[in-house]
Structure 1
Amino acid sequence: MALIRHFERKEMERNALHDEIDATYSVFERDGRVLLQIDSYGRADREMPGKKSQTLQLDREGALELFEILKREFHLG
C-alpha cells in the first residue's frame, strides 16, 4: 500500500500494453483528510482470483497533481 503525494514524469525506453484487470475505489476520511483508495485485483487466471494485488492512495495534493497530469496528457478541458 502506498500514499502518493507527488508524481514525477519518467521517459521509458520500452513500453508495453498490460492485461486488463478489475479495480475498485473507495473514499474515506482520516485525520481530517479525504483519501481516495484504488485497489487492483490482478488477472482472472491468477492463483488466487479476487485477491487484492495493488493498493494506491491519493490525498488532495496527490489527486490535484494527477488531475493536472490527466488534463494535460489526454487533452481534457
Structure 2
Amino acid sequence: MAKVREFFEDKKSSVSHPTLVDCGYQAVRTSEGVFLQLSTYGSDQRQTQKKTSQTLQLDREHAEQLLRILITTFPDLRGRVTEDLS
C-alpha cells in the first residue's frame, strides 16, 4: 500500500497492457483525513482469486491533481461528469 506523494508526466514510450484486472475503491477516513483508496486485484489467471495486488491512496490534494490529469487526457469528460451528477 502506498500514499501518492507526487504526480508527474512520464515521457517514456508505453503500450496498452494486455492484462485486465478489477479495481475496487473506497473512502478511508483516518486521523490524517479522508483518502480515496484504489486497490487492484489479480488477473483471471492468478492462482488466488480476488487478492489485492496494489493499493494506492490519494488525499484531497492529489485527487484534485488526478482529476485535472483525467480531464486533460480526456477533455470530453469535463461536461459529462457535471451532467451525470445533476
TM-based fold match above 0.5: yes
Task: Give the TM-score normalised by structure 1.
Answer: 0.87
- Who is 1:33 aligned against? 33
Across the aligned residues of Structure 1 and Structure 2, the Cα RMSD in angstroms comes to 1.4
Asked whether the 8 Å contact 1:4–1:62 carries over to 2, the reply is: yes
The Cα offsets for residues 41-71 of structure 1, whole Å up to 9 and x where unpaired, read as: 1101112111111101000011000000001
**Structure 1 unmatched ranges of 5 or more:** none
TM-score, scaled relative to structure 2? 0.79
Q: Partner residue of 2:12?
A: 12
Deviations 1:14-49 (A, max 9, x none): 323332111111102112511111111110111211
Q: Is the 8 A contact 1:5 1:61 kept in 2?
A: no
More moved, 11-20 vs 24-33: 11-20
Which structure has more RCO (C-alpha within 8 Å, separation ≥ 6)?
A: 1
Structure 2 gaps of 5+ residues are 79-86
1:71 pairs with 2:71: yes
Q: Separation in 2 of the partners of 1:48 and 1:38?
A: 19
Distance change (3 Å), C-alpha of 1:61 and 1:71:
same
